Every structure is written in structure tokens, then in C-alpha cells.
């Protein structure tokens, strides 16, 4: 007898879980920096256009593949296309695995900073760089040791994920997101009010509101598109897995609009927190992005801000919720694949995946500043002109696996499964999709060309997708 497949318990549960996957570190520590580089308001406008034009159609595509197939990401392509299409799913699973290995460790670092700001903020303010590199194994005398602090917190972060995922789709992931996402919005609002009421923040607010078209280049479009895909969790077939737990009654275009709207709103709100706060404390030139910025530069912001330590705890808590709900979706994608493709039990699959992720992530964490592997890897990597092991992992996922999987999805729907089947899946139970014609043109022609351009530019100019 076929086992009953897991389903979301409620519509809002699904929307919050999918938005939880989308809202992640990408929104909070990448978007504001990208927006700053791209001329504030200019980037925000181009970003919204990219989300509407390409991000949302791609999300709708992944959700409909998942719901139509009612199976995992490799199985979906086999079931709806032919056996040969399975490679798209494999690229997705491998991409998800590699990205989660470092995403989960970075999540551990975030957890360490929640504890750090709560218990020893003066130590962070004293030497932000030393605190960060110390966590990663660099001693004050310049020698290195095993980065056990970072690794320990990564283990705790993965343990939280494992506990939630073992409980299942409805009682684990959905429940967690139903609490985590509203909490995230509240934290975000608190920080927004704090940031825009700081003395000197007005300049930052107006920077974000005023388009500076002189900063608009071809790269702005590519950066916005790459950011949109990464931020919406597209190209890792996560939305296929989440879509596969949806009932036929759900209106996919409406849900897609809600998820994309929430994700974009959080990114823009983060922009209106980080940029004005940095303008008010450190000066506009200091807005940056990524881990170095979030862990090191922001210490100066919290140190100078009235009540900064409390807001520091709130900020890292916000990052923690964002990272947890995204990481969970990635692990769920891999676990669903293992349970359905290889008939593993959910518990064993989750534990096995989390241990494997932990171990691979250790190489990422260790390759940052410490560890003997650094020397070995450097000799090897220098030959390939790659800077470090961790950078290679990001390079592989951002420039190759995510765009290749996204390209595979759009070609699959446009040319193999065919868009009329996707549209039939979307337009069920009396649901009308009024943008069907536009969607068809985008998915068949515009999306593949745009994604191929990202891949080509990534190879040529070093642009990354994330």
C-alpha cells in the first residue's frame, strides 16, 4: 500500500514556510549592501522589476512542478519528463547539499553572536575583528588552533534543524515557521524603528529612496537578478519540494505573489535598517555586505547606537530565525529526496544528512583562518587560483549549480514537460491564471536567456549569483 504523502496543514502554514525559506541571510546581509552599491533607490526599483519579471515566474514554475508530481526533486523531473531529465534534480540536490553545509555553519556563527552580544558585548566592541577571527581559530599571537567555538555552535544550529525536521512537515517545519516568521517580523519592525529614528539616519533613508540613475549599468541588472533568485530560494528546487506538499485546491499564482511580496518586503526593510543605521553611526561609505560586514563592521554600529547591545541581540536573533527557516527548507529538500528515492526513514535520513552537512561544513569553517588543511588546500588552490576552500564552495554553488538548476527548470517546463501542462496544473479547481500568455513567453524564452547570461557573465567577469 502506498504511504500517505505529507501535506501542509494550512494555507498560511505553507506560505509562512515558503517565505521562511526565502527570507534568509541573503535578504538581511546581502540585499542592503547590494542596494547601496547599486545606487540605493535605483537598485530597489531594478530588483523589484526582476522579482516580478523573472523571480515570480520561476517560483510559480517550481511550485507547479512539485505539486503536479507530488514527489521529491529528482523524482519530479523523472515523473513529468523522462528519466533523462533527472539530472536537473540531481544538480539541485547536490547544490542544496553544498550550500547547506556552509549555510548551517554560518548559522552557527550567528548563534554564537546572539550569545556573544547577550553576555560579552564589550569584548566584541573592543576588537570586532579579533572576536570574529578568534571564533574561527585565530589566536591573538597570530597562531591558529582548532575553531571549536564556531564548530560547537554550528553543531547546535544543526541539532535545532534536525529536531524540527524529524517531527515532519506539518508538526515540525510548519509549526516552527508559524512561530518563527511572525517573531522575525516583530524583530524587524523594532530594528526599523530604531534605525530610522537615529540622529543622522535621514541621509541614509533618502539614499534608499532616491534613485541615482548614473549608477545604473548592465551589472546592476545581473546583480539584481542573481540576488532575486538566491533570495527567493530559486534554483535549488526547494520550492519543488515545498510545492509537492500542497493540495490541488491552492491557488499557486496567488501564493507565489504572497511569498515573493513577503520576501521582497523583508529585503527592503533590511535595507532601510542597515543603510540608515550605518549612515548615522559609521558614515555612508561603510555600508558593506556579507559575513565580514555583518559580524565585524556592524559591531561599530551597535557600539555607537543608544541601547546598541540590546539591538545587537535583536539583530542577531533576527538573523538566526532567518537562517534557521532557510536552512530547514534546504535540509527538507534533501531529506525528502532520500526518503523517497532510497526509501530511508525520515529520522535516519535527517540524522545522516545533518551529520554529513556538519562534517563538510567543518572544512568550510576550518578553511577560514585556521586548520592545517589551510596549508594543504592553499598549495592546491593556488594552482587553480582559488583563494580558499570555502570560497570554492560558494563559487561552485553561486556561479554554477544554482543557475544551472534554474536553467534546467525553465527549459524543462518550456520545452520538455511543456507549459500547457504547467498551466493545466496551475488552472485547476476553477482557478484562472490571467497572465498565462506572459508566463509562457517568460518561461520559454526570457528566463533561459537571462539565466544563460548570468552563467556566462559569472564565468567571464566574476559576477556571482548570490
Q: Rule CB under 6 A: which residues touch ligand PFF?
A: 21-22, 24-27, 96, 230-231, 233, 236, 238, 326, 329-330
Minimum Å gap between C-beta 238 and ligand PFF is 4
Between 56 and 138, whose beta carbon lies closer to ligand PFF?
Answer: 56
Scanning the structure block, which residue is given the C-alpha cell 493540495?
247
Scanning the structure block, which residue is given the C-alpha cell 498565462?
436
Grid coordinates representing 115? 550569545
Between 151 and 322, whose beta carbon lies closer to ligand PFF?
Answer: 322
| Residue 234 backbone phi and psi in degrees, to 5 | -100, 145
Minimum Å gap between C-beta 398 and ligand PFF is 10
8 A C-beta contact, residue 22 and residue 259: yes
Between 26 and 32, whose beta carbon lies closer to ligand PFF?
Answer: 26
Minimum Å gap between C-beta 456 and ligand PFF is 22
Minimum Å gap between C-beta 172 and ligand PFF is 17
Between 90 and 433, whose beta carbon lies closer to ligand PFF?
Answer: 90
Between 31 and 125, whose beta carbon lies closer to ligand PFF?
Answer: 31
In the DSSP assignment, the letter for residue 233 is: T
Minimum Å gap between C-beta 96 and ligand PFF is 6
Between 325 and 365, whose beta carbon lies closer to ligand PFF?
Answer: 325
Minimum Å gap between C-beta 466 and ligand PFF is 8
By C-alpha distance, which of 330, 172, 157, 178 is closest to 240?
330
Q: Rounded CA gap, 84 and 74, in Å?
A: 11
8 A C-beta contact, residue 393 and residue 434: no
Q: Rounded CA gap, 159 and 111, in Å?
A: 12
Grid coordinates representing 408? 534546467
Between 96 and 98, whose beta carbon lies closer to ligand PFF?
Answer: 96
In the DSSP assignment, the letter for residue 434 is: T
Q: Rounded CA gap, 112 and 134, in Å?
A: 12
Minimum Å gap between C-beta 212 and ligand PFF is 25
Between 124 and 158, whose beta carbon lies closer to ligand PFF?
Answer: 158
| Residue 363 backbone phi and psi in degrees, to 5 | -65, -35
Minimum Å gap between C-beta 234 and ligand PFF is 7
- Name the residue with the smallest CB distance to ligand PFF: 24
Sequence-distant (≥ 6) Cβ neighbours of residue 418 within 8 angstroms: none
Between 201 and 227, whose beta carbon lies closer to ligand PFF?
Answer: 227
8 A C-beta contact, residue 67 and residue 246: yes
Minimum Å gap between C-beta 323 and ligand PFF is 7
User: For residue 75, what is the enclosing H or E element?
Assistant: helix 73-80
Question: What SS3 class is residue 395?
Answer: helix
Q: Rounded CA gap, 219 and 37, in Å?
A: 11
Between 137 and 288, whose beta carbon lies closer to ligand PFF?
Answer: 288
Minimum Å gap between C-beta 180 and ligand PFF is 14
Q: For residue 136, count other CB atoms closer than 10 A to its CB.
A: 20
Q: Rounded CA gap, 345 and 218, in Å?
A: 48
Q: Rounded CA gap, 107 and 102, in Å?
A: 8
Minimum Å gap between C-beta 459 and ligand PFF is 21
Between 114 and 465, whose beta carbon lies closer to ligand PFF?
Answer: 465
Sign of CA dihedral 75, 233, 259, 433: negative
Q: How many helices (H) and strands (E) does the chain have?
A: 24, 0
8 A C-beta contact, residue 58 and residue 229: yes
Minimum Å gap between C-beta 322 and ligand PFF is 7
Q: What angle do CA 169, 439, 242 make, to 5 degrees?
A: 5
Grid coordinates representing 229? 533568485
Q: Rounded CA gap, 204 and 296, in Å?
A: 20
Between 21 and 201, whose beta carbon lies closer to ligand PFF?
Answer: 21
Amino acid at each position: 500500500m502506498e504511504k500517505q504523502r505529507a501535506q501542509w496543514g494550512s494555507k498560511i502554514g505553507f506560505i509562512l514556510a515558503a517565505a521562511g525559506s526565502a527570507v534568509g541571510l541573503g535578504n538581511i546581509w546581502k540585499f542592503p549592501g547590494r542596494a547601496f552599491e547599486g545606487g540605493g533607490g535605483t537598485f530597489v526599483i531594478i530588483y523589484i522589476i526582476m522579482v516580478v519579471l523573472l523571480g515570480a515566474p520561476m517560483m510559480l514554475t517550481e511550485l507547479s512542478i512539485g505539486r503536479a508530481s507530488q514527489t521529491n526533486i529528482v523524482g519530479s523531473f523523472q515523473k513529468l519528463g523522462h528519466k533523462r531529465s533527472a539530472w536537473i534534480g540531481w544538480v539541485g540536490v547536490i547544490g542544496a547539499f553544498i550550500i547547506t553545509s556552509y549555510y548551517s555553519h554560518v548559522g552557527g556563527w550567528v548563534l554564537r553572536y546572539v550569545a556573544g552580544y547577550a553576555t560579552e558585548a564589550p569584548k566584541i566592541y573592543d576588537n570586532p575583528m579579533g572576536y570574529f577571527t578568534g571564533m574561527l581559530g585565530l589566536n591573538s599571537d597570530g597562531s591558529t588552533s582548532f575553531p571549536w567555538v564556531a564548530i560547537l555552535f554550528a553543531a547546535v544550529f544543526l541539532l535545532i534543524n534536525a529536531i524540527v525536521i524529524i517531527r515532519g512537515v506539518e508538526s515540525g517545519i510548519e509549526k516552527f515557521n508559524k512561530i518563527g516568521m511572525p517573531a522575525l517580523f516583530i524583530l524587524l519592525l523594532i530594528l526599523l524603528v530604531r534605525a530610522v529614528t537615529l540622529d543622522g539616519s535621514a541621509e541614509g533613508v533618502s539614499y534608499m529612496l532616491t534613485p541615482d540613475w548614473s549608477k545604473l549599468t548592465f551589472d546592476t541588472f545581473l546583480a539584481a537578478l542573481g540576488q532575486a533568485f538566491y533570495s527567493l530560494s530559486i534554483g535549488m528546487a526547494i520550492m519543488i519540494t515545498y510545492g509537492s506538499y500542497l493540495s490541488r485546491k491552492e491557488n499557486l499564482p496567488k501564493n507565489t505573489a504572497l511569498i515573493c511580496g513577503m520576501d521582497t518586503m523583508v529585503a527592503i526593510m533590511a535595507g532601510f535598517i542597515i543603510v540608515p543605521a550605518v549612515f548615522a553611526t559609521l558614515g555612508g561609505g561603510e555600508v558593506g555586505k556579507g559575513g565580514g560586514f555583518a559580524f565585524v563592521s556592524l559591531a561599530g554600529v551597535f557600539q555607537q547606537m543608544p541601547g546598541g547591545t540590546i539591538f545587537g541581540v535583536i539583530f542577531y536573533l533576527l538573523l538566526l530565525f532567518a537562517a534557521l527557516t532557510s536552512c530547514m527548507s534546504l535540509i527538507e529538500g534533501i531529506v525528502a529526496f532520500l526518503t523517497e528515492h532510497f526509501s530511508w526513514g525520515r529520522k535516519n535520513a535527517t540524522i545522516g544528512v545533518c551529520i554529513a552537512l556538519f562534517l563538510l561544513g567543518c572544512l568550510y569553517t576550518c578553511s577560514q583562518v585556521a586548520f592545517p588543511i589551510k596549508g594543504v588546500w592553499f598549495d592546491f588552490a593556488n594552482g587553480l587560483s582559488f583563494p580558499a576552500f570555502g570560497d570554492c564552495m560558494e563559487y561552485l554553488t553561486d556561479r554554477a549549480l544554482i543557475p544551472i538548476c534554474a536553467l534546467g527548470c525553465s527549459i524543462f517546463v518550456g520545452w520538455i514537460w511543456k507549459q500547457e501542462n504547467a498551466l493545466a496544473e496551475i488552472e485547476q479547481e476553477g482557478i484562472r491564471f490571467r497572465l498565462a500568455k506572459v508566463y509562457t513567453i517568460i518561461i520559454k524564452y526570457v528566463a533561459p536567456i537571462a539565466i544563460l547570461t548570468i552563467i556566462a557573465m559569472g564565468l567571464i567577469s566574476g559576477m556571482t549569483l548570490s
